[in-house]
Amino acid sequence: MNILLILIPVTLIVIGVAVALFFWAVNHQQFDDLDSPAVLPLMDDPPADTDEKDAP
> Can you list the pairs that 22-29 forms with residues at least 24 positions away whose Cβ atoms lie under 8 Å?
none
Is this prediction's pTM over 0.85?
Answer: no
Euclidean distance between CA atoms 3 and 21, whole angstroms: 27
Q: pLDDT-based confidence at 48, cuts 50/70/90?
A: confident
Please report which helix (H) or strand (E) contains residue 39, including its range. Answer: helix 36-39
Give tens-digit pLDDT for 30-45.
Answer: 888 878 877 888 888 7
Q: Which residue type does 14 have?
A: V
Average pLDDT, the chain: 85
